[in-house]
Amino acid sequence: MIELARPLGALALIALLVPLVIHLLRRSAAREIPFAALDWLMARTPPRRRFRLDQRLLLALRLLLIALLAALLAEPLWRADGDRETARVYVAPGIDPARARATIGALPADGYWLATGLPSLAQPAPQPESAARLISLIRALDAELPSTVRLTLIVPELLSGLDGERLQLGRDVDWRIVADATVMPATPAVPPPPLRVAIRADGTAQTVARALLAAWRADGLVLAVDEAADGVPVPEGTSLLIAGTAIDTALSARIADGLTLLRGDAADQVGEVLLRDDSGQPLLRRQRVGRGQIITLVGALDPAQLPALRDPQLPQRLLPWLRPALPTPDRALAASVAPLRGAADAKSRAVPLLPWLIPLIAALALLERVLATRSAREPR
Amino acid sequence: MRPLIPAEVRARLARLQIASRLRPDGQGLGLHAGRGRGAGLEFAQYRAYGQGDEPRHIDWKLYARSDRHFVRDATRDTPLSVWLVIDCSASMAQADPERPDHARIDAAKLLAAGIAERAVAQGDSVGLVTVGGAVTQGLPAATGARHRDRLLLALTALQADGRDGARAVPPLLSARIGPDALVVVIGDGLDGALLDAGQQLAAARRDVCVIRLLTVGEARFPFTGSPRFVDPETGRARTLDADAARARFLERFGADRQAQLRQLATHGVRAVEQVLDEPADAALQRLFGARGASR
């Protein structure tokens, strides 16, 4: 069975008119006969305007050549007749097989689990897997199955573990969603790691730091605190340092390595303004250093000198700037991530015919030249 | 240069004798029976001895029987003067599409060369006049191998290039061509003026032969389809259905040809036709061969 990868290429068949026209025109132009006994020729027999074509073999060859060139543009593919249209159903693990069968209903199709090895639906359900793994399996299916196979995918309502790329396939698939499946594992299987805080301050600064930590703890934030005297090195893995000291070289290196430093400095004029107080004056400034940052409260860490510190909302307002970046969202409703039809069609099993077509065209072109020049040598 | 006459034609020409129906009255020794009486091989008459006759010409055996002096006269064999008149109008350049390198003028050159060849071999003098061409050429009648070569050279250079204005025949054709000459007119018969001149020459005691060259297209009209026929002299063109026109053309043209031949015959002109696909010497065999020879 021959298919055309680019059916618009068949429009080139219009060019079949060109050799026809050439043969018609050349015929009428070539016949001129010197004839001195013109007076004895009766003008009463007008010329017949028959569409008679000379050199039919050459014309047929040229037509065939152009038809093959049009086929070359249309990119024919050979597909074995054995690839009958079939349907397959793949069920994401975690969905109850009985519910899946009810969903597929009367579909005359084989059912498989969408899991490693693609086991049959009759086998016990494998462990649920993340959506990224599911999507990887779907892509593999799309690439490997011939395009005549109709795919039905049964997925849970909520998919997690997605990446930013929308799934694109080379065929249209039946994307079915089972509503209340208890599918996806609870996303955070482990409690989030504690925010590791180091305090290198004394006096009122230490008090302020402790007050901040207490406020954050009260909000449910899990903290691991390393409190020491000023000058003690900050342990590895610390993500937030609250300090009142100046920044030395070692500390700069740690900040550039990803540490966030929170400090109070009334004289700080650099960095972008993150927060402003009620009168519009800058309250919180940030200065990026390498992968880390320096967050500066404009003013000494002393509630007496910095009235903003007495604001009970301040710890909550500070927190977003101090915590490391949250994980990117990776959950979506399955209905919103249905696969798109991608540009590349599924044609894995189709054999392109171009390697045979091109030598055939070359041979025919050669033959056409031989015929055309041979008939030109013969007297007409 | 390719020889003008192919070898097999030359072989057939060797058996040919160019002859006139008139008895030439020229000087010198030739192969043709002349009008004059005198020394010769063939007996003509006895006549009475008169003053001035050589005594050795007296037939003494007859004197013994009749006691009178009789002189034995013989027919004097004289040479012939052959004139070639070739039509060089543009219609002579017409060839058949199947054989474009063999035009009427080529066949005419071959016929003329054959006649010249034979005439010189017989000791006759040959002259050439071309009519109807852009330039009228001519060579005076003379004998000898050198003259034959000159004539063949002139024939080779002949071109049928006369356009419609050049149909006129040189008016003093009879002034150039002496009486009792054999005049061979080679043309396509489409020029009435040339044939009229030939008839006038025949009336003025010249033996005139006309060779009419026909192309295969004119003789059998083998064209098919609807070609465009172009007159080479006037440039007029006519596009018509050849299959439908064939029968009518052959009938009309053939009738005109026959009428022309009859009219020429009534004026004492021997006329033959030769189609271009016939052997190159066909017309010569008809005129001077054993069957067509008239002495």
pLDDT of residue A53: 66
**Nearest C-alpha of chain A: how many angstroms from B73?**
54
Strands A76-78, A2-4: pairing is antiparallel
Tell me if B248 and A31 make a contact (CB, 8 A cut-off).
Answer: no
> Any idea where the domains of chain A sit in the sequence?
2-30+52-79+350-377, 86-187+332-341, 195-310
Ranges under pLDDT 50 in chain A: 181, 379-380
Residues A261, A297 contacting (CB under 8 angstroms): no
ipTM of this model?
0.74
Minimum-distance CB partner of B245 among A34, A42, A380: A42
Minimum-distance CB partner of A47 among B100, B240, B249: B240
pTM, rounded to two decimals: 0.50
Based on C-alpha coordinates, what's the Rg of chain A? 40
Tokens of A4: 């055309």
- Those residues with Cβ within 8 angstroms of residue A266's Cβ, 6 or more apart along the chain or in another chain: A298, A299, A300, A305
pLDDT of residue B261: 93
CATH number for domain A195-310, candidates 3.30.70, 3.30.1360, 1.10.10, 3.40.50: 3.40.50
Residues of A in contact with B227 (CB under 8 A): 31-33
- Those residues with Cβ within 8 angstroms of residue B79's Cβ, 6 or more apart along the chain or in another chain: B24, B26, B28, B29, B30, B31, B32, B122, B123, B124, B125, B143
Give which of A24, A26, A40, A44 to mutate to test B binding, by max B Cβ within 10 Å.
Answer: A40
Residues of A in contact with B249 (CB under 8 A): 37, 40-42
Report how far apart, in Å, the C-alpha atoms of A133 and of each of A93, A113, A127, A171 are.
11, 13, 12, 20
Contacts for A306-314 with beta carbons within 8 Å, 24 or more apart?
Answer: A306/A264, A307/A277, A308/A277, A308/A283, A309/A208, A312/A215, A314/A212
- A231 CB within 8 Å of a chain B CB: no
Give which of A27, A28, A38, A378 to mutate to test B binding, by max B Cβ within 10 Å.
Answer: A38
pLDDT of residue B127: 94
CATH number for domain B7-15+79-288, candidates 3.40.1710.10, 3.40.50.970, 3.40.50.410, 1.10.8.80: 3.40.50.410
Q: How far apart, in whole angstroms, are the C-alpha atoms of residue B76 and residue B37?
A: 5
Tell me if B94 and A47 make a contact (CB, 8 A cut-off).
Answer: no
> Any idea where the domains of chain B sit in the sequence?
7-15+79-288, 32-78
- Digit-by-digit pLDDT tens for chain B (295 residues) are 567 888 888 888 888 888 888 777 666 667 677 666 666 667 778 889 988 888 888 889 999 999 999 988 877 777 889 999 999 888 899 998 888 889 999 999 999 999 999 999 888 899 999 888 777 788 898 988 999 999 999 999 888 887 755 455 666 677 788 888 899 999 988 888 888 888 888 998 899 999 999 999 999 999 887 788 888 888 888 888 888 889 889 999 999 999 999 999 999 999 999 999 999 899 999 888 865 444 4
Please, is B141 exposed, middle or buried when counting C-beta atoms within 10 Å of its C-beta (0-12, 13-18, 19+)?
Answer: buried
B interface with A, Cβ–Cβ < 8 A, is: 90-91, 93-95, 97-98, 100, 188, 190, 217-218, 223, 225-233, 236, 238-241, 244-245, 248-249, 252-253, 256
Give all strands (DSSP E) within B188-225, no chain letters. Answer: 207-214
